[in-house]
Amino acid sequence: MSTPVSSIRNLGPAVERDCARAGIHSAEVLRDLGAHEAYRRMIASGTRPHFIGYYALVMGLQGRPWNDCRGAEKDALRAAFDTLKAETAGSEKGRSKLEAALDEIGVIERKA
């Protein structure tokens, strides 16, 4: 039996759709992957990176309210998010690194 992603605190239907698009179809799989890897997969599948979404996911997996992150903990999460965002830079707008490269040289049509 699998539990819906939206059963996790802070995560609603939009995150559940983003997770499904990334191949994450249950709360159990999301927990096993952890927030960082799950968010990496979400970005790679087209989710636009957003810090609040990232830390709401982290807080949710810890069973905490989305806005419970402050001070040094929030600073550390911001650093982790910035690193993740830099690592996945070729995947923005739902594009693979190959698609982004082809876009750069004008081989494929730009996505809005």
- Cβ-proximal residues to 5 (8 Å cutoff; 6+ apart), any chain: 11, 15, 16, 19, 20, 24, 25, 26, 27, 30
The fraction of the chain above a pLDDT of 70, given in percent, is 80
- Whether 40 contacts 84, CB under 8 Å: yes
Cα gap 34→106, rounded to integer Å: 37
- 108 or 37: whose pLDDT is higher? 37
Output the CATH code of domain 5-104.
1.10.150.20
42-88 tens-digit pLDDT:
999 989 999 999 999 999 999 999 999 999 999 999 999 999 998 88
**Which pLDDT does position 92 carry in this prediction?**
52
Residue 28 clears pLDDT 80, i.e. is over it = yes
Q: Domain residue spans in the chain?
A: 5-104
Residue 101 clears pLDDT 80, i.e. is over it = no
What radius of gyration, in Å, describes the C-alpha atoms of the chain? 15
- How remote is the C-alpha of 9 from its chain's centroid? 16
**Which pLDDT does position 51 carry in this prediction?**
95
Going by pLDDT thresholds of 50, 70 and 90, the confidence category of residue 93 is: low
**Which pLDDT does position 89 carry in this prediction?**
80
Instruction: Kindly report the average pLDDT of the chain as a whole number.
Output: 88
Section 23-42 average pLDDT: 97
Helices (H), 22-87: 27-33, 35-44, 51-61, 71-87
